[in-house]
Every structure is written in structure tokens, then in C-alpha cells.
Amino acid sequence: MKKTMWFLAMIPVAVTAVILQFLPDTIPMHHDMAGNTNRWGNKAESLIFPLIILIVALFWHLMIRAFEKKAANAKTEKEQMEAKSSAKMLGFVGISQTLMFGILHYFILYSSYVQATAGSTKSVIDIAKVSCILCGIMFVVIGNFMSKAKRNTLVGLRTTWSMYNDNTWRKSNLFAAILIIIAGLLTIVTTVFANGNLSTVFMLVYILIAALISIAYSKKVYDRETASGN
């Protein structure tokens, strides 16, 4: 899983190195909320985002490795399973994020190339719109894996109530995973009909609502569990 993540993280570096040969020396680097370019820069700056992607991949690599070591040194089978589950979940998150950032970077490169060669003062692609769609897809992917995560102290819906026992964890995280998937789908649908800035606001609202409802549900599950004497 780590190898796959690193492979995906290296692709943007290689692609950018090739594309730089065809980009004009000066390309758009920043746009305002309306998409108007407010800063131009040297094309070499295009390598900054790929380097950030490598740093992100390194972060997830170290996190995954830490839980793999924890699993190897676990004293009980339960601790080992929880650590392995956390490492697996982090692997999927790392791969999803690396892939999302890579795709976003390709759109940025294409937009910069088209705009620079055309001499336009406005971005040809709504990058915020692309970002929201990619985030929506990532929420759906993470939600699918989140429902399968074992109880741990790092990933998933971790409240005092959800962490009470395996039953409260399973029910709370399954419910939260469904809401995250719904939030992701709503983000994708909203982005199709709205601009990037508005879609970003809606996405944040969807995630906030999903989080609040999930937390409230974990309390409800906890109350039922303790009432039954478990």
C-alpha cells in the first residue's frame, strides 16, 4: 500500500518535469475569487505542488509505519488487529489524498498552459469546482473503508461514547460512514450546478452537519448500550 502511494506521489513530479518543457516561461500562479489572475510567476514554481504531494505522502508513510510497528509489537491479538486496521485505513486515506492532489495538479497545469498560451487574464478552469468534486469522491471512498475500521485511537468517529466498547464503535462508525458518503455525493451533485466557491461552502456545511449528527448518534448508541447493562 505504501509503494502504491509513493508511485502515485511521484507521477506529478515526472509529469511536471515533462510539461515544463512546453510551458511558457511565465504562467498564472494565483487567481481571485472571480477567477481573475492576480499573480504571474516563473513556470518552475509548478514544481512546488508536486513537492508538497511528496511531503504529504511521507507524512502518511510515517503514520502507517508507526501503526505497523505497533501491530508487530502488540501483546494481544485484539491490539494487533486494531493497529493493523488503523494502518490499513491510513493507507487508503494516504492513497486517496495523494491521488486527489495529483489529479488536481494536472488540471492546474492544463489551465495554466491554456491560459498562458492564449494570453488570457482569467482562469480557464474553475479549480475550486474540480477540488470539490475530487473531495466528494474522496469522502465516498473513505466512508466505505471507515465502516470497516476496528476500534482505535486515531481514525474513525472517536468520541467518548463511540469508544466505549466494540458495539458502540461499530454502530457509531457505520452510521457516520453512511453520512460521510451522503455528504460526498451531495458535494458532487451540488458542484455540478454551482460554481467552485459556492460548492466549497456547501461541502463544508455538509461535512459539519454529518459530523454533528454522527456525534449525537454515538451518544444515543452509548445510552442504549449502558442502559442494557453492557
Q: How many CB atoms lie within 10 A of CB 229?
A: 5
Please work out, in degrees rounded to the nearest 5, the angle formed at the alpha carbon of residue 151 by the alpha carbons of 227 and 78. 105
Write the CB contacts of 137 (distance below 8 Å, at least 6 apart in sequence).
100, 184, 188
**In this predicted structure, what is the pLDDT of residue 174?**
92
**In this predicted structure, what is the pLDDT of residue 155?**
75
**In this predicted structure, what is the pLDDT of residue 230?**
58
- Cell 511565465 -> residue: 26
**In this predicted structure, what is the pLDDT of residue 56?**
93
**In this predicted structure, what is the pLDDT of residue 133?**
94
**In this predicted structure, what is the pLDDT of residue 229?**
66
**In this predicted structure, what is the pLDDT of residue 178?**
93
Alpha-carbon span 159 to 171, nearest angstrom:
13
Alpha-carbon span 82 to 229, nearest angstrom:
25
**In this predicted structure, what is the pLDDT of residue 7?**
94
Q: Which among 105, 115, 134 has a CA at the least distance from the CA of 46?
A: 105
The predicted-structure confidence for 157-177, as pLDDT tens digits, reads as follows 888 899 888 899 999 999 999
Alpha-carbon span 183 to 203, nearest angstrom:
7
Highest mean pLDDT among 131-145, 156-170, 176-190: 176-190
Radius of gyration from C-alpha coordinates of the chain: 21
Residue 33 in contact with residue 197, Cβ under 8 Å?
yes
Write the CB contacts of 150 (distance below 8 Å, at least 6 apart in sequence).
81, 82, 84, 85, 86, 169
Q: Assign residue 165 a region: left if phi > 0, alpha if psi is -120 to 50, beta otherwise? A: beta
Banded pLDDT at 70 (limits 50, 70, 90): confident
Residue 50 predicted with pLDDT over 70: yes
